[in-house]
Structure 1
Amino acid sequence: MTFANAGTLGALPGKRDALVAHLTRRSDLLEQIGCLWYEVGVNDDEPDTVFVVELWESAAAHQSSLALPEVQASIAAARPLLSGTFGGFRFEVMGSPLRD
């Protein structure tokens, strides 16, 4: 069953655009490990927040991705840009009116 992870990442003041640039770097690996969709966005009303919405083949695919050296390296590279404020939610996707 498809797994969704929607969250917010707090960026250090003035570092939001650098965090967005990091998160939106092309990664063919994500598709190979079961990521179906990974979207990054901003809202100027929240200048130190980055929004991320991910769809994965399964919760297990998402969880196992976090152990990969490439993903760990990406997280480590983003860490100096983060304020430590995180939010969000996760859920199993039950369906959509946009597809069968």
Structure 2
Amino acid sequence: MGEYALFGKFIAKDGERETLVKILLTAADSMQDLDDCEIYLVNISPEEPNSVFVYEVWRDESAHQASLTLEAAQTLIQQAKPIIAGMERIATLSPRGGKGIKG
């Protein structure tokens, strides 16, 4: 099994995008000590004022699933839920290489 990547879109309730960005950046900070997480990028687009895009690369799918059970992740999920209007998984990917990928 190879690396596992996700490209997701979170849609914040009106006026809550920056709050959601802060929560997701806190999640990104908590990934710093997880060797199984190679990339966790939080992005916004000026064309979609309520959307936040997250690109993640993990050692494998089980590492990603395990991360969701961590206490820190559960706390952040509970903080984010009230301000999320919707979510969309844009793609599940199999990275092949590039800068930032351990390969």
**TM norm structure 1:** 0.85
Residues 24-65 of structure 1 show CA distances to partners (whole Å, capped at 9, x for unaligned) of 126344542511110011111100110000011111100111
Question: Number of residues paired by the alignment?
Answer: 99
CA distance in 1, matches of 2:53, 2:31: 21
* Aligned alpha-carbon RMSD (Å): 2.0
Structure 1 unaligned regions, length at least 5: none
Structure 2: distance between partners of 1:81 and 1:97: 34
**Larger mean Cα displacement after TM superposition, 42-51 or 26-35:** 26-35
CA–CA separation in structure 2 for the residues paired with 1:97 and 1:85? 27
State the match for 1:86 in structure 2.
88
- Please, what TM-score do these two structures have when normalized by structure 2? 0.83
Q: Name stretches of at least 5 consecutive residues in structure 2 with no aligned partner.
A: none
Contact 2:30 2:72 in 1 (8 A): no
User: Residue 85 of structure 1: CA displacement?
Assistant: 3.7
Letter paired with 2:64: H
1:3-25 Cα offsets, whole Å, 9 max, x none, are 10101001001110111111112
> Letter of the aligned partner of 1:23 in structure 2?
L
Query: How many Å separate the matches in 1 of 2:67 and 2:35?
Result: 7
